[in-house]
Amino acid sequence: MFGRAKKTVDESKILEALRTVEDPDLHRDIVSLGFIKELKIEGGKVSFKVELTTPACPVKEQLKAECHQKVSAIVGVEQVDIEMTAQVRRMNVGAATAVLQGVKNIIAVASGKGGVGKSTTAANLAMALKVSGARVGLFDADIHGPSMAMMFGINSRPEVTEDRKIVPIDAHGIKVISMGFLSGPDTPVIWRGPMVHGAIQQLVRDSAWGELDYLVVDLPPGTGDAQLSISQAIALSGAVIVTTPQDVSLLDARKGLLMFRQLRVPVLGIVENMSYFLCPHCGERTEIFRHGGGKKTSEELGVPFLGEIPIDPSVPVGGDLGNPIVREKPDSPAAQAYTAFARQVAAQLSMLAESGGKSLPHAPIMPGPIDWK
């Protein structure tokens, strides 16, 4: 006479199951991290959102699959719908917090020496974060060799609002401001240190960035006074150091680390550019230069290794045509490498924000004295 009573799934059972899913970067379960939102149960149908700390999470799909599997295993659950979302956490420090209200993270891309692919890395980092769904800005702070206008195909100058704010140029959905906007493309800039410092500070603060999850800053090459003062003016959340295999004399990377140590800016890690060559015809991998120095250096200095980017002839082509390779050829090995690297950067920032800035050494251990030769 009576139908079999249908088992109702109860919320606590679901949360209990989800408590066994751990974020591998943050080393805590996703329930106590507050990731589970809008949990709904209708008969055997369960739906919820998993709100990650970055849309560029490297383990997004893995976490989704694990949540699905764990909840599906509960007796009475017939259907599980999971939506992966993200709310980027704020990790910025000092003056920028007060001035750049809407900017959650400011990431500097730096290198010990010039020509290692810093601007290309910054452009593709910004692009990959944007593609993941984040709100991204790019500030080209390289006063002597600004290159972002070319890399993003920008021909116009930014407008100024009535309240005297500079409106960044929108390029492929990224808000771009370049020191090059202050001069013509062919005008070499001969400014002295304090003027550069002042101009950069003013430009970054007077720009209408709006709400940004990440502001990527392309620093001028080197680790001298100019870089120090720029980094101070911008108040960075973290820095990425770009090297090439032949450049990874431990010394160059150490100089970069020392600079950020003085500034108390956490080093998010090292990325090795032009790491190896993949033949576009047969796919064979050739390690033209001594490969692996970036990883070794990061291990020795106790900072994360963020990835290696192959040499790809399409990289300069995309750069010259205003289309970073992550957008131009998203399936190419170089674009995939940039994307994986960008996810590592986002993960490091999430970890920093979660630990209140304590998860990375502000002062990396420096083995031995620095030789400034």
The residues of the shown chain that bind ligand ATP, judged by CB under 6 A, are 111, 114-120, 142, 145, 147, 221, 273-274, 309, 311-312, 315-316, 319, 334
The single residue listed with the structure tokens 């949990």 is 39
**For the residues of 152-186, what is the DSSP string, one character each?**
TT--S---B-TTS-B-PEEETTEEEEEGGGGS-TT
CB of 147 to Mg ion, least distance (A): 5
What is the distance between the alpha carbons of residues 143 and 137, in angstroms, rounded to a whole number?
A: 18
How far is it, in rounded angstroms, from Cα 295 to Cα 364?
A: 15
Chain position carrying tokens 């699959």: 65
Q: Residue 142 to residues 14, 146, 310: CA-CA distances in angstroms?
A: 51, 5, 24
Closest approach, Cβ 252 to ligand ATP, in A, equals 12
Which one, 133 or 145, has the nearer CB to ligand ATP?
A: 145
| Nearer to ligand ATP among residue 9 and residue 110 (C-beta) | 110
The nearer residue to ligand ATP, 3 or 283, going by C-beta atoms, is 283
Nearer to Mg ion, 118 or 172 (CB): 118
User: Binds 117, which of ligand ATP, Mg ion, none (CB < 5 to 8 A, cut-off by type)?
Assistant: ligand ATP
Closest approach of ligand ATP to the CB of residue 326, in Å? 12
What residues numbered 147-166 form the site for Mg ion, per CB under 5 A?
A: none
Do the Cβ atoms of 212 and 243 come closer than 8 Å? no
Residue 226 or residue 352: which is nearer to ligand ATP going by CB? 226
CB of 310 to ligand ATP, least distance (A): 6
Residue with tokens 């430009």: 203
Tokens (6 digits) for 287: 């390690």
Task: Kindly state the smallest distance separating residue 146's Cβ from ligand ATP, in Å.
Answer: 9
List binders of Mg ion among 117-136 (CB under 5 A): 118-119
**Exposed/middle/buried for 183, CB within 10 Å: 0-12, 13-18, 19+?**
middle
User: What residue ranges bind Mg ion (CB under 5 A)?
Assistant: 118-119
